[in-house]
């Protein structure tokens, strides 16, 4: 799993995959969209 945080109006995702940290923008100001993207990752 990972976490979701807000920078300005945009939600960002932070997660680990194969032991490496990743951070990316969800490109959205809606929390539900960010949750959906994080679930896919």
Whether the Cβ atoms of residue 13 and residue 34 lie closer than 8 Å to each other: yes
Domain total in the chain: 1
Q: What is the pLDDT of residue 1?
A: 81
pLDDT for 28: 98
- The CA–CA distances, whole Å, from 1 to 4, 8, 35, 40 equal 10, 23, 11, 10
pLDDT tens column, 1-41:
899 999 999 999 999 999 999 999 999 999 999 999 999 98
Domain housing 30: 2-40
pTM for the model:
0.86
């Amino acid at each position: 799993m990972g976490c979701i945080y807000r920078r300005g109006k945009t939600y960002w995702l932070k997660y680990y995959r194969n032991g490496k940290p990743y951070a990316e923008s969800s490109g959205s100001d809606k929390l539900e969209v960010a949750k959906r993207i994080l679930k896919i990752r």
